[in-house]
Structure 1
């Protein structure tokens, strides 16, 4: 298994609105495996990460599939979002 780094890390919301940065395919794979659920998007993210770890696809392809999973579950920190400020506002609206 190769610990392939993403060109740009992915940030996801965890816990009570705290951001977590995922820098590598391994980080994304572990997050997807630990995520509660069994959606098609989650399974696709896991498969893509496994494929990247085995060298069948590149890290950026796996990143894209993982980002789609995170976006679908409303946990993707989008570009321009300020994690510390947004964390407080997300909690207030939840």
Structure 2
């Protein structure tokens, strides 16, 4: 059960706007555990992934909860999306 794959991978923004692909429940669980914070959405994602790893829920249920967490934290990569801006864009003056 540890390598339960998602039907469709989840992509999240990490670091300086680099996408990371999460292919399995274990990938999502590790990401949620390492994420800095302690929001209700993060805790729900961790619980859902843990339940999927134990076989109590299916991978797609965990994927949905994790996706809600990533969307709330504005790190979910949508198809053909550019990295989120960290602040207001300013024209460069040379």
Q: How does the TM-score come out when normalised to structure 1?
A: 0.87
Q: Which residue in the other structure is 1:15 paired with? A: 15
1:90 alignment partner, SS class: coil
Does the CA contact (< 8 Å) of 1:42 and 1:69 recur in 2?
yes
Q: Which residue in the other structure is 2:68 paired with? A: 68
Q: 2: CA distance between counterparts of 1:19 and 1:8?
A: 15
- How many residues were matched structurally? 89
**Considering only CA atoms, is the larger Rg found in Structure 1 or Structure 2?**
2
Does the CA contact (< 8 Å) of 1:17 and 1:91 recur in 2?
no
2:42 alignment partner, SS class: helix
RMSD: 1.7
Question: Where do 1:1-94 residues align within 5 Å?
Answer: 1-81=1-81, 86-87=82-83, 90=85, 93=88
Q: How does the TM-score come out when normalised to structure 2?
A: 0.87
Q: Which has the higher helix share?
A: 1
Unaligned runs of 5+ in 1: none
2:85 alignment partner, SS class: helix
- Cα drift, residue 79 of structure 1: 2.7
Q: 1: CA distance between counterparts of 2:40 and 2:87?
A: 30
Unaligned runs of 5+ in 2: 90-94
